[in-house]
Each structure stands twice: as C-alpha cells, then as structure tokens.
Amino acid sequence: MKTKESEEMYLETILLLKKKKPTVRSVDIVEELGYAKSSVSRAVNLLMKNGFITVNSLTGDIGFTEKGTEKARNIYERHRILTKALCKIGAEEKSAEENACRIEHVISDDLFSVIKKFVNED
C-alpha cells in the first residue's frame, strides 16, 4: 500500500509541475516535495522501471508514457473530486485539500464513483 501511495504522489507531482513549467527534471521534484535527491532518484528509477515515465538521458527531462499520463490524470481527478466533496459537506478548503491528498490513495473505485456522482450533481 505504501508503495502505491508513493508512486501515485510522485506521478501527481510530476503532472502538476508539467502544468507550471515546460520541462520537469528530478531537481524540480526535489524542490517541490522537499525530499532528498537520493529518494527522488530512486522513485524516478522505479517509475521508469514500471513504465510510467521516461527520462531523456541528455537533458534529464521527465516525460510520461501513455500509461503514466493516464495514472497521473486519474489520481489528480481523485484529488480534485475528493477536495470538492469535502468542501461541499462543510470542510475548510485547506483541511479538505490535505485530507483528499491522503484519501485519494486508499479509496475504492466504487466509493470514488459514488462521491464523484455526488459532487457532479450540482
């Protein structure tokens, strides 16, 4: 479970960084998350091994594979929908964001579908 959560968190971070800047490298992830370079390097290697990302050997630029793009978008959608749902039931936005970040990694697909339907019934 912990491995899945870490993998998803890195993929979501890369996705969000790509929305802010044209290229993303490991050092950008280090700065964003405040993790040690060695931890990020290990994670990037695992993401490559698992077929989620590619890394340009000359520039260090990180790119998503099709599989990685889909997984990152799915986890980010969970984050957004869960944050909206928590706000909708009365949570403060900061608390909703923080809790959605934890919930997004453990919620079942079935329950997420129910929550997504609830949020989209505006």
Query: Which SS3 state, helix, strand or coil, does residue 51 take?
Result: coil
The structure tokens 């019934």 sit at 121
**pLDDT tens, position by position, 48-102:** 999 999 999 999 999 999 999 999 999 999 999 999 999 999 999 999 999 999 9
Quote the CA–CA distance of 118 and 112 in Å, as a whole number. 10
Cα torsion 101, 103, 106, 107: sign? negative
Distance of CA 3 to the CA centre of its chain: 13
The structure tokens 């969000």 sit at 16
